[in-house]
Structures are given as structure tokens and as C-alpha cells.
């Protein structure tokens, strides 16, 4: 199995390098798109700046993973592996910081800006509704004002027809006073009703701006020109909200309620008799008390409306695509996952190769290096082995009977003994196997077998 794994690793070397190159190139392309959304300036400057940055990122990513994929699978010691794992973790964080978030901006930048515009639209909707409710809160005082008006008018009519208050019918001091109070309250009610028309008109205008903003958000096409149009509509809508906050009739109602009691002037009684005059004076005092109570009730209701928190204006903040992706990262997790996976996928290949090489070492045992020895290494090893052996004593062979013996040279320096060839050594060590007379000898190759 070890040999099969080695052959597989060897066959996949080209595929691994090609995979790293393609992943680095893809990351560089999306990094370029993300950087272009950040840089400001004229076209050529932005183009070359983004191109240089993305090229540097691609080269750095390719070199980083090439180093790790080359060395990490062959590391055996745990301390060395921890060092490389720490380097891989640090490099991965740097890659995310310089590339992955820009990749996410390129993948989901337009969608993130649309999400920002949609959220801002909802916020404008909430502010417009709040301002409209505050402006219409004073309309809740209208029924109380109308009831008070109707009560004073009815008392005046009853006093004029039947003399229900003073006991004497006719249009005297009491009738005039009651009609006067009814007229003042009726004028206040008319102001409240008129403010409703203005508030409704502003609310309708704000609704048109909101509709246009929603249309811009959902329209197709590049996001940059749509964001500019959206900003124009947002400014106009902010003006409508501010105008609606200033059209509340509650302050006017409070002032009018205070004037009812403060500006009350009791009319002079015109009774023909002292008894009638005293009754008229008593009724005028009772009317003054009723007016005071009604004034306090209206002022208290107006204070409750004015105590509400004012509507805070909304300020539209345009975002670039990377800023939008970072701000709404939790809503674009798939895009973030894809952007990070492009950069960190080689880590999975490193883990695979580390596991394969670990399996190879287990299969081949401790003599792992002996399976990969070149001819040059084998030759050098043999030379070292022979150099470490002690010199062997050479035995002089017996002279042949038909050859004269060479005279010895005592004064000559003995030459270095020559090494015997393997064939001569084997022939010398082979026992004498000459067959006896009368026996046919076997050929040499058969005797060897």
C-alpha cells in the first residue's frame, strides 16, 4: 500500500500545483473587485492600485500554501509540527485580513448595500409614522372641545328659551356669556380640524417619497447610481418628517386653554330687578368655575401630548460595498463562507497529504529512507564502507610449474596491493572439482546451478 500511496502523491503533484495557482488567481480577481469599491480617485489610478494589490495577494497566497504543502507532510516531530501549524494559523488570519473580506465584498457587496437601503427605508417609515402619530395626537382633544362647546351652546339656548339657569327667559347676560364661551371653543375646534388637513397632506407626501425609495431599492442595475437617487429621496423625506413634527396643534391648544380661564371677563349683569341681577351674578360665577375646570382639563391633555419624546431625525449614511458587507456580515454568512473557503481550501490539502505521508511511514517502518537511494548515494556509501575496512593481507599464489619464478626485489618498495576482482576471488575460493578419469565433466553453467 505504501508504494501505491507514493505513486498517487507523485501523480497528484501537478494537480496540486495547478489547484493552488487557480485558487490564488480566483482570490486575486475577487480581491481586485473588492479593492476597486474602496479606492477613490481617477480611473487609471484606481485600476493600477487595485491591480497591484490583487497581484501581490495572489502571489503571497500561492507562495504561502506552496511552502506549507511542501514541508508540512514530511515533518515527524511534534514540536516542529506545532511550529508549522502556528505559522499556518497566523498566515490564515493574515489572508482573511488582506483578502477574504474583500472577496466577500465582491461576492455580496451589492446585496449588502441593498440591505442597508432597505433597513434605512424601514427606519424612515418608523420615523414618519411616529411624527404622524404625534401630530395627530392633538386630534384626540377635538371630542372634548366639541363636547364643551355643545354644552355651553345648549345652556345658552335653554336659558334663552326657558330661563333654566336664572329662572327668567330671554337673551341676557348669562346667554351672552355662554354663547361667547361656546364661540371660543368652537374656534379652537376649527383650528384642530384644520391642522388635521395639513398633517394628512404631509403624511401623503412622505408616503410618496417612501414609495420611490422602495422602488429604487428593488430596481435592477448597478447599485451606485441607485444609492445616489436614494440619498436624494431620503433628504426630501427628512424635510417632510421635520415639518410634520412642527405642525402639532398641541401647543396651540394649551395656550388657548390657558386663555379661557386667564382672559375671562365677567359681563355686567343687566337684570331689571335686584333679585334677577343677583341670580345672574351667581350663574356668571358658576360659568367662570366651569370654564376654569374645562381650561385645566384641556391644558393637562395638551401637556400629555407635549411630553412625548420628539421624533429624532434620520440621517442617511452611504456605505461602500466592503463597509456594507462588514456591517451586515451576519446576514451574508454564505458569502463569507465562500470567500474564506477560496483562500483557506489548501489547508485541507495539507491535512490530506500529512495523513497520506503518515500512513506511508507506518507501512514502510523505520527504514523509510532506504527505499529512496540514488546510484550516486549507493556508490558513495560503498566507498565509505571500503575506506573503513582494515587493509587485508594478500596471499602470494603458488607459481605454475611451467613458468619460472620471478626473482624477488628486496630493495624495491612494495606497491600497494591490488584489489582482486570478484570473479578471481570466486575462482580462488572454489574447491577443486576436477572429475576423476573416465568421467565426463559437466558444463560450467550446470555445475553452478
pLDDT for 322-353, tens place per residue? Answer: 788 888 888 888 888 888 999 999 999 999 98
pTM: 0.61
Question: Which domains are assigned to the chain?
Answer: 2-74+332-366 (no CATH), 112-327 (1.20.1260)
- Pick the closest to residue 166 from 265, 261, 273 (CA basis): 273
For 270-329, what is each residue's pLDDT tens digit?
Answer: 555 666 667 666 777 777 677 777 777 777 777 777 777 777 878 888 888 878 888 888
Q: What is the pLDDT of residue 62?
A: 94
Average pLDDT over residues 373-391: 80
Percentage of residues in the chain having pLDDT higher than 70: 76
What pLDDT was estimated at residue 348? Answer: 92
Contacts of 339 (CB under 8 A, 6+ apart): 30, 100, 101, 103, 104, 106, 107
Q: How far apart are the first and last CA of the chain?
A: 35
Specify the higher pLDDT residue, 260 or 245.
Answer: 245
Amino acid at each position: 500500500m505504501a508504494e501505491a500511496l507514493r505513486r498517487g502523491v507523485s501523480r497528484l503533484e501537478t494537480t496540486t500545483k495547478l489547484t493552488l495557482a487557480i485558487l490564488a488567481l480566483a482570490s486575486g480577481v475577487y480581491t481586485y473587485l473588492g479593492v476597486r469599491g474602496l479606492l477613490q480617485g481617477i480611473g487609471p489610478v484606481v485600476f493600477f492600485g487595485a491591480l497591484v494589490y490583487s497581484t501581490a495577494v495572489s502571489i503571497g497566497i500561492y507562495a504561502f500554501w506552496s511552502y506549507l504543502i511542501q514541508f508540512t507532510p514530511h515533518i515527524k516531530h511534534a514540536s516542529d509540527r506545532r511550529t508549522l501549524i502556528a505559522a499556518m494559523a497566523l498566515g490564515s488570519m493574515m489572508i482573511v485580513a488582506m483578502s477574504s473580506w474583500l472577496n466577500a465584498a465582491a461576492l455580496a457587496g451589492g446585496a449588502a448595500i441593498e440591505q442597508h437601503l432597505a433597513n434605512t427605508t424601514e427606519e424612515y417609515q418608523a420615523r414618519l409614522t411616529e411624527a404622524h402619530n404625534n401630530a395627530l395626537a392633538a386630534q384626540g382633544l377635538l371630542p372634548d372641545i366639541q363636547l364643551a362647546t355643545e354644552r355651553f351652546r345648549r345652556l345658552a339656548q335653554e336659558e334663552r328659551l326657558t330661563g333654566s339657569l336664572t329662572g327668567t327667559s330671554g337673551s341676557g347676560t348669562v346667554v351672552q356669556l355662554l354663547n361667547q364661551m361656546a364661540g371660543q371653543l368652537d374656534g379652537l375646534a376649527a383650528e384642530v380640524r384644520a391642522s388635521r388637513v395639513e398633517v394628512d397632506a404631509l403624511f401623503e407626501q412622505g408616503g410618496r417619497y417612501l414609495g420611490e425609495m422602495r422602488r429604487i431599492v428593488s430596481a435592477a442595475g448597478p447599485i451606485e447610481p441607485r444609492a445616489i437617487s436614494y440619498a436624494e429621496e431620503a433628504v426630501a423625506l427628512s424635510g417632510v418628517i421635520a415639518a410634520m413634527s412642527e405642525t402639532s396643534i398641541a401647543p396651540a391648544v394649551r395656550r388657548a386653554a390657558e386663555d379661557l380661564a386667564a382672559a375671562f371677563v365677567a359681563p355686567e349683569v343687566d337684570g331689571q330687578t335686584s333679585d334677577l341681577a343677583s341670580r345672574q351674578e351667581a350663574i356668571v360665577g358658576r360659568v367662570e368655575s366651569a370654564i376654569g375646570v374645562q381650561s385645566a382639563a384641556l391644558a393637562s391633555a395638551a401637556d400629555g401630548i407635549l411630553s412625548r419624546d420628539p421624533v429624532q431625525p434620520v440621517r442617511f449614511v452611504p456605505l461602500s460595498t466592503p463597509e456594507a458587507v462588514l456591517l451586515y456580515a451576519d446576514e451574508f454568512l454564505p458569502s463569507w463562507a465562500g470567500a474564506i473557503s477560496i483562500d483557506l481550501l489548501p489547508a485541507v490539502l495539507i491535512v490530506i497529504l500529512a495523513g497520506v505521508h503518515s500512513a506511508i511511514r507506518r507501512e514502510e517502518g523505520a527504514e523509510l529512507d532506504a527505499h529512496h537511494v540514488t546510484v550516486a548515494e549507493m556508490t558513495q556509501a560503498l566507498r565509505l564502507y571500503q575506506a573503513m575496512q582494515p587493509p587485508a593481507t594478500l596471499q602470494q599464489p603458488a607459481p605454475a610449474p611451467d613458468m619460472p619464478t620471478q626473482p624477488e626485489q628486496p630493495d624495491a618498495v612494495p606497491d600497494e596491493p591490488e584489489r582482486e576482482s570478484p570473479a578471481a576471488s570466486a575462482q580462488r575460493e572454489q574447491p577443486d572439482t576436477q572429475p576423476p578419469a573416465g568421467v565426463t565433466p559437466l558444463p560450467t553453467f550446470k555445475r553452478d546451478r
